[in-house]
Amino acid sequence: MSKDVEQQFRELIKKISNYNEAIGVLAWDLRTGAPKKGVDQRSEVLGTLSSEVFRLSTSQEMKQYIKELRAETVWGSLDDVTQGAVLECEKDLLKLEKIPEKEYSEYVILTAKAESIWAEAKDAADFTLFQPYLEKIVEFNRKYVEWVGYETNKYNTLLDDYEPGLTVDIIDDVFGQLKDEIVPLLKEVTSSSYQPKTDFLFEHFPKENQEKLSIDILKSMQYDFEAGRLDTTVHPFAIGLNPGDVRVTTKYDEKDFRTAVFGTIHEGGHALYEQNIDKKYVGTPLCTGTSMGIHESQSLFWENFVGRNKAFWEKHYDKLKSFSSGQFDRVTLEEFYDGINVAGPSFIRIEADEMTYSLHIILRYELEKALINGELEVKDLPKAWNDKMEELLGIRPSNDAEGVLQDVHWSGGSFGYFPSYALGYVYAAQLKSAMDKDIPHFEQLLSEGNLTPIKEWLTEKVHKHGKSKKPLQILKDVTSEGVNAKHLIQYLKTKYHSVYKL
Amino acid sequence: MSKDVEQQFRELIKKISNYNEAIGVLAWDLRTGAPKKGVDQRSEVLGTLSSEVFRLSTSQEMKQYIKELRAETVWGSLDDVTQGAVLECEKDLLKLEKIPEKEYSEYVILTAKAESIWAEAKDAADFTLFQPYLEKIVEFNRKYVEWVGYETNKYNTLLDDYEPGLTVDIIDDVFGQLKDEIVPLLKEVTSSSYQPKTDFLFEHFPKENQEKLSIDILKSMQYDFEAGRLDTTVHPFAIGLNPGDVRVTTKYDEKDFRTAVFGTIHEGGHALYEQNIDKKYVGTPLCTGTSMGIHESQSLFWENFVGRNKAFWEKHYDKLKSFSSGQFDRVTLEEFYDGINVAGPSFIRIEADEMTYSLHIILRYELEKALINGELEVKDLPKAWNDKMEELLGIRPSNDAEGVLQDVHWSGGSFGYFPSYALGYVYAAQLKSAMDKDIPHFEQLLSEGNLTPIKEWLTEKVHKHGKSKKPLQILKDVTSEGVNAKHLIQYLKTKYHSVYKL
């Protein structure tokens, strides 16, 4: 009996997965040059496919299959992939069922519209244009928490969508430690008598050569170009359509080569994760990264622990020089290393260095938590933002565009997402400490340009499991710890004391 | 009552149309650089979406709606778009109902895979690699004819999918006339004492400049870049996803600029058709070109009657010179014109000149007709191909890559498609004769670079109607004739007698 149901269930989730892959291709296409006059009609296509995914995920068949497969007599006979997939579908179903369909579809329309309103408001640097939309979005998310239910803190329900297992308690503790250590470290750095030279960062670097360099670096990271491609976009991203098709985009700024080089390494880190998920998960909801935070740990591991490591540039600096227009000719490797690790307060999150980045995230986390718990109202956001920016980074935005309006996330209703970015830093540092035990000659590998053992270690510990292990399970299996901020703090202190000769 | 059914019907065909658009984006993506390791999985996604289209097109709802809307009391109250859509869906339904669903979805997967096998076989110039796939594809098409039924000749059923209204009888007559006139014309031309100079065609023309020139020419044709984009592919094509997103691809050969220039004009002609379909047809099966032959008439009109016209180059020759590396500096416009119109026997269809092109098509038509009628087997194709090539063009391929393996079409199961190409020439010449009455100063417009009236005439007579008028109806409305080979024959004789000073 059960075999039959199991097979029908697998066919249903394969179908859902195929729809999601089509949605992924359409999304990639929209972001890589789809003609603007076709966008409205394309949105309707996306709507049709998304509705179908919703319908299948909450269908009577799905409910029936889950019920039958969860029966004690059947459960034990299922393979681990099916078990994991059933649990994933059950979790989704329990949430989706509780959302009133009418309010949900109104919300979908609202957020679809809100992104362009946000963009207009940002261009005008005027929060009040976006405010009425954001109020409705926050209102929906507050209601969502009530519908779905919550434990201890309302924000936990939203966190669970992006970082299952993480709670406000854990994050308050971790982010508290980061704040306590990074805020003073930032002061040390900004007041250091030594400040890295940076003028060479901003000289003309031809786009074609940046592209060649990006491809070279992706190849050395073991990114598989037969299972991916590199394109250019305004907002770089990586997208896993299936493990054989994981695409990376980047952006070439001829006045700052770092955008492309570190952006490509970052997205390449995301892509390695998706390319190396065990094929047995294809066609199930387990065939993706397990959480936004673990995903970000992979991109940040490559961007910072590899790409901003001096040993990496011992191998790659000559190549960089040969591709450049000569701006590095009189810059030593040490000066170059210090220059690409310059740190300091700045307004814009996506331009922040690896030391201050977490502070930008903590700011958003604290505001989101207060909003969802009803302790802050949308109309008061701009002032709250600026106050917190001053408290954490010591600077105050002069307008909403460089403050509260800078990120797209809230216009799409992505509350609970931001913490993943800082958790990614914390996880990456924890993984690095664990890797040090298995690969003590890490820096030597970088200086030899042999990144294969590093990629293989990450595949073995993280990538191959897809979504079959939850974030905390991965941490436990790999580091024998829970979330622990100390590794990141120690890394940042050591690194920035060295860069700033403190 | 009927309004309600009409609306439900329109929603259903809108949904089908949305799925087809998604399929179109995925197909475009597969042909413009999708990573090869993802192709198998992507084929399954296409299978899922195609099955859904099949399911919706043959659903109880569809049958019920058609039945109710076709009722005499209702029919008259429907608008013309709905009426056209109902007839289109009814026609599809009558066919699709007869195809077993399982065999259909297996066939979709088979043809998705067969394309890459064909490509490998072509690279290896070894037909036997492709043969087992082609056998299954031909087998399906033979069964398809049996399932759907046929009149007079089995091949008519396949023709009807690409060129509704055309039959083997009509085509035998038209192609017979072409063969009777072109084979001797080809002999006249090859034995003429005057042969155009062509050395300058094959000198280095930088790729970037070819791209700029291609964009320039597309713009002058009134191709709307806000509703499209230009990419590069091995096998150029145009695809209409919706009238706001109609994409063109081309290929740059630095040793032969004609590939890009005339290829881009050709695909641009297809694209103009799709960009200018009346918006009222969006979301219905009428929102596409009415047949492959009429489509080809548009691309060939632009490629040959415009792009290979001396008056066109009176305007564009200086620009071409400025983009080139200097190979035209000592070539007069007359020499250039003769050079780009050089004709003679050749192996590869897509490189054939406009005189011999139809002979390449007649070869394929005769082989397909024999295959479908069981008078020829797949294993005997290579020899049959080579024999016919010798009969029609007087040359014999030395291997399968320059013979039977050269075209992608059969790998996708497109039997019945090839005749459209030659019909496109015939139609284009008929349209040109009709246009001459309305636009007697055609050549003057070309020499002034004012292509707008030409594009507008074609939009008015052909483009805007989408699939709401059948091919023979368009011919009748625009030319007051049926299919008539005489216009093309007269055009070719006049042109090549002039080029070859005969």
Contacts of A45 in chain B (CB under 8 A): 18-19, 21-22, 25
Cα distance from B242 to chain A (closest Cα, Å)? 7
| Mean pLDDT (chain A, rounded) | 96
pLDDT grade for B112, boundaries at 50, 70 and 90? confident
> Is the residue at A418 inside a domain?
no
Backbone φ, ψ for residue A355 (5° rounding): -80, -45
Residue pair A305/A432 in contact (Cβ under 8 Å)? The answer is yes
> Is the residue at B368 inside a domain?
yes
> Is the residue at A235 inside a domain?
yes
Residue pair B188/B435 in contact (Cβ under 8 Å)? The answer is no
CA angle A208, A209, A211 (to 5 degrees): 65
Q: Check CB contact under 8 Å for B22 and A18.
A: no
Cα distance from B201 to chain A (closest Cα, Å)? 29
Based on its alpha-carbon atoms, the radius of gyration of chain A, rounded to whole angstroms, reads 23
Does A104 score more than 90 pLDDT? no
Among all chains, which residue has been given the structure tokens 């790729």?
B207
Longest dimension (CA), chain B: 75
Residue pair B225/B219 in contact (Cβ under 8 Å)? The answer is yes
Q: Check CB contact under 8 Å for A41 and B15.
A: no
Q: Treating both helix axes as pointing N-terminal to C-terminal, what angle do B155-162 and B419-438 enclose, rounded to 10 degrees?
A: 50
Backbone φ, ψ for residue A240 (5° rounding): -95, 110
Residue pair B264/B216 in contact (Cβ under 8 Å)? The answer is no
Question: Distance between CA A36 and CA B227 in Å, rounded?
Answer: 6
Q: Check CB contact under 8 Å for A228 and B35.
A: yes
Q: Which of A441, A409, A214, A457 is nearest to A319 (CA)?
A: A214
Tell me what pLDDT residue A113 has: 84
Which domain CATH number covers B337?
1.10.1370.30
Q: Check CB contact under 8 Å for B244 and A282.
A: no
Phi-psi region for residue A283, left (φ > 0), alpha (ψ -120 to 50) or beta?
A: left
Write out the residue range of the structural domain in which residue A74 sits.
Answer: 2-98
- E strands in B5-130: none
Tell me what pLDDT residue B2 has: 54
Contacts of B25 in chain A (CB under 8 A): 25-26, 29, 42, 45
DSSP alpha helices (H): ranges in A449-485? 452-461, 471-479
Question: Distance between CA B439 and CA A385 in Å, rounded?
Answer: 66
Tell me what pLDDT residue B3 has: 64
Residue pair B423/B166 in contact (Cβ under 8 Å)? The answer is yes
Minimal-distance CA residue of chain A relative to B28? A29
* Per-residue pLDDT reduced to its tens digit, B136-148: 999 999 999 999 9
The first and second tokens of residue A280, run together, are 């047995």
- B413 Cβ contact partners less than 8 Å away, ≥ 6 residues apart: B107, B111, B114, B137, B140, B141
Minimal-distance CA residue of chain B relative to A17? B45
Residue pair B224/A37 in contact (Cβ under 8 Å)? The answer is yes
The first and second tokens of residue A306, run together, are 């590899």
Q: Which 8-state DSSP code applies to residue B481?
A: S
> Is the residue at A51 inside a domain?
yes
What is the torsional sign of CA B61, B67, B73, B77? positive
Q: What percent of chain A has pLDDT over 90?
A: 94
Strands A230-232 and A245-250 come out as: parallel
* Per-residue pLDDT reduced to its tens digit, A186-211: 999 999 999 999 999 999 999 999 99
For chain A, say whether B284 makes contact (Cβ under 8 Å): no
| Mean pLDDT (chain B, rounded) | 96
Phi-psi region for residue A185, left (φ > 0), alpha (ψ -120 to 50) or beta?
A: alpha
One domain, residues A79 and A207: no
The number of folded domains in chain A is 2
> Is the residue at A313 inside a domain?
yes
Task: Identify the residue among A11, A25, A224, A249 best suited for mutation to test binding to B, counting B beta carbons within 10 A and taking the highest.
Answer: A25
Q: What percent of chain A has pLDDT over 70?
A: 99
The first and second tokens of residue B367, run together, are 């082989």
Question: Distance between CA A450 and CA A430 in Å, rounded?
Answer: 22
Q: Which 8-state DSSP code applies to residue B370?
A: H
Task: Identify the residue among B37, B102, B281, B287 best suited for mutation to test binding to A, counting A beta carbons within 10 A and taking the highest.
Answer: B37
> Is the residue at B7 inside a domain?
no
Indicate the SS3 state at residue B232.
Answer: strand
Does A1 score more than 60 pLDDT? no
Contacts of B37 in chain A (CB under 8 A): 224, 226-227, 243-245
Residue pair B478/B431 in contact (Cβ under 8 Å)? The answer is yes
The first and second tokens of residue A97, run together, are 């069922």
Beta bridge partners of B242: B245
> Is the residue at A184 inside a domain?
no
Instruction: Give the closest of B38, B49, B225 to A241, CB-based.
Output: B38
* Per-residue pLDDT reduced to its tens digit, A448-458: 999 999 999 99
Distances (CA, A) of A316 to A22, A308, A311, A455, B405: 38, 11, 9, 18, 45
Q: Which residue has the higher pLDDT, A218 or A2?
A: A218
* Separation of CA B206 from chain center: 28
Question: Distance between CA A53 and CA B48 in Å, rounded?
Answer: 13
* Per-residue pLDDT reduced to its tens digit, B146-179: 999 999 999 999 999 999 999 999 999 999 999 9
Indicate the SS3 state at residue B380.
Answer: helix
* Per-residue pLDDT reduced to its tens digit, A415-441: 999 999 999 999 999 999 999 999 999
- E strands in A286-337: none
Question: Distance between CA B146 and CA B110 in Å, rounded?
Answer: 20
Strands B230-232 and A245-250 come out as: unpaired
Does A353 score more than 60 pLDDT? yes
Q: Treating both helix axes as pointing N-terminal to C-terminal, what angle do B2-31 and B60-70 enclose, rounded to 10 degrees?
A: 130
Tell me what pLDDT residue A2 has: 54
Contacts of A56 in chain B (CB under 8 A): none
Tell me what pLDDT residue A115 has: 87
Q: In what order do the strands lie in the sheet with A245-250?
A: A230-232, A245-250, A238-242
Neighbour-count burial of B172, counting CB atoms closer than 10 A to its CB (0-12 exposed, 13-18 middle, 19+ buried): middle
Q: How many CB atoms lie within 10 A of CB B114?
A: 23
Q: Which of B198, B209, B471, B204 is nearest to B343 (CA)?
A: B198
- A218 Cβ contact partners less than 8 Å away, ≥ 6 residues apart: A225, A230, A248, A264, A268
Q: Which of B31, B62, B40 is nearest to B110 (CA)?
A: B40
Give the 3-state secondary structure of A348-393: CHHHCCCCCHHHHHHHHHHHHHHHHCCCCCHHHHHHHHHHHHHHHH
Backbone φ, ψ for residue B183 (5° rounding): -55, -50
- B50 Cβ contact partners less than 8 Å away, ≥ 6 residues apart: B23, B105, B108
Q: Which residue has the higher pLDDT, B231 or B108?
A: B231
Distances (CA, A) of B105 to B38, B101, B110, B142, B440: 19, 6, 9, 16, 51
**Active-site residues of B: which are they?**
267
* Separation of CA A40 from chain center: 27
* Per-residue pLDDT reduced to its tens digit, A122-142: 999 999 999 999 999 999 999
How many CA atoms are closer than 13 Å to the CA of A227, on its beta-carbon side?
21
Q: Check CB contact under 8 Å for B18 and A241.
A: no
For chain B, say whether A333 makes contact (Cβ under 8 Å): no
Question: Distance between CA B354 and CA B372 in Å, rounded?
Answer: 28
Residue pair B277/B463 in contact (Cβ under 8 Å)? The answer is yes
What is the torsional sign of CA B149, B150, B154, B159? negative
Tell me what pLDDT residue A235 has: 87
Q: Check CB contact under 8 Å for A38 and B242.
A: yes
> Is the residue at A326 inside a domain?
yes
Tell me what pLDDT residue A301 has: 98
Q: Which of B21, B407, B298 is nearest to A40 (CA)?
A: B21
Tell me what pLDDT residue B351 has: 87
Question: Distance between CA A146 and CA A158 in Å, rounded?
Answer: 11
Among all chains, which residue has been given the structure tokens 């008259």?
B76
Question: Distance between CA B412 and CA B111 in Å, rounded?
Answer: 5
Average pLDDT over residues A1-23: 92
Residue pair A232/A251 in contact (Cβ under 8 Å)? The answer is yes
Strands A245-250 and A238-242 come out as: antiparallel
* Per-residue pLDDT reduced to its tens digit, B242-285: 999 999 999 999 999 999 999 999 999 999 999 999 999 999 99
